Structure 1
Amino acid sequence: MNEALDRAADLIAGADALLVCAGAGMGVDSGLPDFRGATGFWQAYPPYARLGLRFEELADPVHFVDDPTLAWGFYGHRLDLYRRTVPHDGFRVLREWGARVFTSNVDGQFQRAGFADVAEVHGSIHHLQCVEPCTDDVWPADDVVLDVEPESMRATGPLPACRNCGGLARPNILMFGDWSWVAGPSQEQLDALTQWRRGRRDLVVIEIGAGNAVPTVRRQAELASAASGALIRVNPREPEVRHGRGVSLPMGALDAITELARRIG
């Protein structure tokens, strides 16, 4: 492990640029659930265990049409949770290293930690769009405050409305089987990241907390590091790198970043 940490620290210290590719494991040390499997999801949300509902079933845009109080109960609770969560110190270290970010997380923790350039491939819970959608408009969810009944996990009171047509609004998040997601803001971020990458030599990629179940982040990390093999994979459960092209760190996010920072000095 010490040898791997030393190799990773040397890569970071000699990098011309750093790209962080982050999955749900990045937020675990801040107290956020990673929704790993039905059991992990139900541990985070016991009411859904009683209802027998899995994450994949709830994160389906059909509920915003068929059962909007159930849909907004789930996303309203998450929105409140993410607003109250303080990013762990690893975020500060990565920002001080000048890293750019690609993430599948929708929680906005990188922005809260002070990052300006974040590519959110699945959108953000902190923005809204029309359920239909009536337009491609996306706007901040700053004024959205929902009461959620804890036993049923349903939202009570008025639900967020589209600022254009007055119909129901939903989070600007890519859900399962989602044909209505307004992808424009996310695509703009991804295009900006691609342009940035083209102008960087000696790019080092630090992949943190991204598993195989939804491989979007892993694919991006492997693609971005393909030319150099300068990939640092931080994952306590699935740390292996293919064909030895990279450094494997079977650790949690905060522990790994802290150890790397200590070695870099």
Structure 2
Amino acid sequence: MALQDAANLLGPARHVVVFTGAGISAESGVPTFRDALTGLWSRFDAQALATPQAFDDDPDLVWGWYEWRRRLVQRVRPNQGHLAVARLATHVPRLTVITQNVDDLHERAGSPAVTHLHGSLFTPRCASCARPAPVPESTGEQPDEGRRVAPPHCRHCAGLIRPGVVWFGEALPEDALESAVQAATECDVLLTVGTSALVYPAAEIPRVAGRFGAAVIQVNPQPTPLDPIAEVNLAGPAAEILPALVTATWPGFS
């Protein structure tokens, strides 16, 4: 019954926002920040590596860790949840995809113009002048855990290139945040998928949508702080729930 309730809300919507968190990518094999690091990285704390201070103190260590993460992401594939999000664009007049994830799985699944609130592993930039930098070429080899890698230098100012992600203590990209908030105020349905709703200010996006009258539909295996504001809570993995939701909403056309 909950799935059909969600389909009844989604079907007539003119503008749908899909807001995704780590859970959807974890189903493809991308570790979340709450997962314990494995192998040679297990002696490090992920949150301690993801800070400007860590990069200043040991840029080779931090760059090596993010290169390991980037190459790991390149080896996994979008799952049926990502593909279902991309299919939504063929059914609704306007679809906005906002993610807290720093991978490119939505893009590889076929979703264009994804708003990345926390940056991306695929948009490195200079730590000094902030100019964009090329993504390092992939060797196709297995990621090396625990390996220090010297970051490249900026071709403009010779500063060190840093990962294009938002570290702890840094502000979200202003353009991305403004775009996300604007979409949340304008949508009639917000579909929140695989997010713990604990990381602010990103976690405020579904709440903004609810305050502006949108129907909030939540997809998550576990309860979250968004349970009370969601009109429908769909408990389960995104790779199962999202394709089923698309099929229930548009039978024969998904």
What TM-score, normalized by structure 2, do the two folds share? Answer: 0.85
Q: Per the alignment, do residues 241 and 124 of structure 1 end up closer, same or farther by CA in structure 2, a change over 3 Å counting?
A: closer
CA distance in 2, matches of 1:190, 1:114: 22
Residue of structure 1 in register with 2:96 after alignment: 100
1:1-265 correspondence runs (5 A):
3-36=1-34, 40-42=35-37, 45-49=38-42, 51=43, 53-98=44-89, 99-131=95-127, 133=128, 135-143=129-137, 150=144, 153-156=146-149, 158-178=150-170, 186-194=173-181, 200=186, 203-239=188-224, 241=226, 243=228, 245-264=230-249, 265=251
Deviation at 1:212, TM superposition (A): 3.7
Deviations 1:147-197 (A, max 9, x none): 89846x1234x532222212211111111124xx7x6xx433444445556
Deviation at 1:204, TM superposition (A): 0.5
Deviations 1:42-90 (A, max 9, x none): 3xx23232x2x21111112222222122111210101101122211122
What TM-score, normalized by structure 1, do the two folds share? Answer: 0.81
> Which ranges of structure 2 fall in alignment gaps of 5 or more residues?
90-94
CA distance in 2, matches of 1:29, 1:84: 14
Q: In 2, are the aligned partners of 1:106 and 1:122 still within 8 Å (CA)?
A: yes
Q: In 2, are the aligned partners of 1:241 and 1:247 still within 8 Å (CA)?
A: no
CA distance in 2, matches of 1:146, 1:88: 21
The code of the aligned residue for 2:26 comes to V
> Which ranges of structure 1 fall in alignment gaps of 5 or more residues?
none
CA distance in 1, matches of 2:140, 2:157: 21
- Shifted more, 111-120 versus 241-250: the winner is 241-250
The code of the aligned residue for 1:107 comes to D
Secondary structure in 2 aligned to 1:35? coil
CA RMSD, Structure 1 to Structure 2 (Å): 2.6
CA distance in 2, matches of 1:245, 1:63: 38
Residues paired across the two proteins, number: 245
Q: Per the alignment, do residues 217 and 194 of structure 1 end up closer, same or farther by CA in structure 2, a change over 3 Å counting?
A: closer
